[in-house]
Structure 1
């Protein structure tokens, strides 16, 4: 017994649309870039493709009857790759950046961290602000929360951003996420 078992019933994994001899339907709606042939038998479609020196490509297999197009398969694959690449370019990749603060942060340190946050928001990334309390700072959580809220208000105003998730107390941390406002 061989170790080549891949499961299933011996079907090969399909990659892309069916072409030429892989198309096993009695009739199809045949078309090309220039002409509509209407509903024809698959044998007639293969004859036309052979005469023109192109491939049969099943474009819409679920249609009734399925739609088959006459064109060069290499050209078809190239066009599909270009469309996929174009769609990928248009996708926005938003990352989540984190800025960590302390309740007794000095003004200059805060200014440096906020510059970084503004840069992240300008680039379209979300920013997670975390204020961590340690030791005796735990006794002054209320003051720390007020300072955190005032910092966030300044960030939202300065960088034209919005608080995406509400401010949460999680143990010894205060956390929120700020996202840039989308320009229309």
Structure 2
């Protein structure tokens, strides 16, 4: 920027990105001083290097503003964890199921953890049945990313919200419609 540029000649562009031509470094610095803007080297590896006459403070501000807008448009997907035990009763199960549905509606992924304590580990089939029941209860709105897997004393299943289907697509046909069209 300005006096830090060492190339003797520059391909210069104006404040509105209009090409000015190839000029000497001294001429470019004089033009920058006359216009009360900065001389910024854009492409130092080009032959000759490309420089631009711009208000550097305004340029940095606009760059930060663009970056902030891009960041605001991003959707952040959190991973929420809901913990169960093999003996989780129906009332507690219903509350946890409701919370899982809420997390999925917000677009978050859910890590369902089933913790075995003591001798409960010998009854892994009860834990697997609970996770399968949960998967069946949510089948209409989820995609299972990781099926139940035992890791130490925990059985873990990862679920994510089902992707929104593009409207206007062909509807899937039922077996009766398929059978009727084949006859």
Q: TM-score range by the shorter chain?
A: 0.7 to 0.9
1:43 pairs with one of 26, 31, 37: 26
* Residue in structure 2 matched with residue 149 of structure 1 by the alignment: 132
* Alignment check: 8 A CA contact 2:32 2:53 kept: yes
Q: Deviations over 1:116-157 (max 9, x none)?
A: 111112222211101112234333211321221221232242
Cα distance change on mapping 1:23 and 1:156 into 2, 3 Å: farther
Q: Quick one: distance in 2 between partners of 1:65 and 1:167?
A: 61
Alpha-carbon distance in 2 for matches of 1:132, 1:75: 56
Residue in 2 aligned with 1:23? Answer: 5
Unaligned 5+ residue runs, structure 2? 167-183
Cα deviation, residue 99, structure 1? 0.3
- Number of aligned positions between the proteins: 164
Residue in 1 that maps onto 2:42: 59
SS at 1:21 equivalent: helix
String of CA shifts for 1:5-26, please: whole Å, max 9, x gaps. Answer: xxxxxxxxxxxxxx21111112
Q: Secondary structure of the equivalent of 1:177?
A: strand
Separation (CA, whole Å) in 1 of partners of 2:100 and 2:45: 50
Contact 2:128 2:148 (C-alpha < 8 Å) held by counterparts: no
Quote the Cα distance in structure 2 between the aligned partners of 1:37 and 1:131. 68
Q: What value does the CA root-mean-square deviation take over the aligned residues?
A: 1.9
| Stretches of 4+ aligned residues off by more than 3 angstroms | 181-184
Task: Give the one of 57, 60, 73 matched to 2:56.
Answer: 73
* Structure 1 residue ranges without an equivalent (≥5): 1-18
DSSP 3-state at the match of 2:3:
helix
1:180 paired residue among 153, 161, 177 = 161
After TM superposition, the score normalised by the length of structure 2 is 0.80
Change (3 A) 1:120 1:53: same
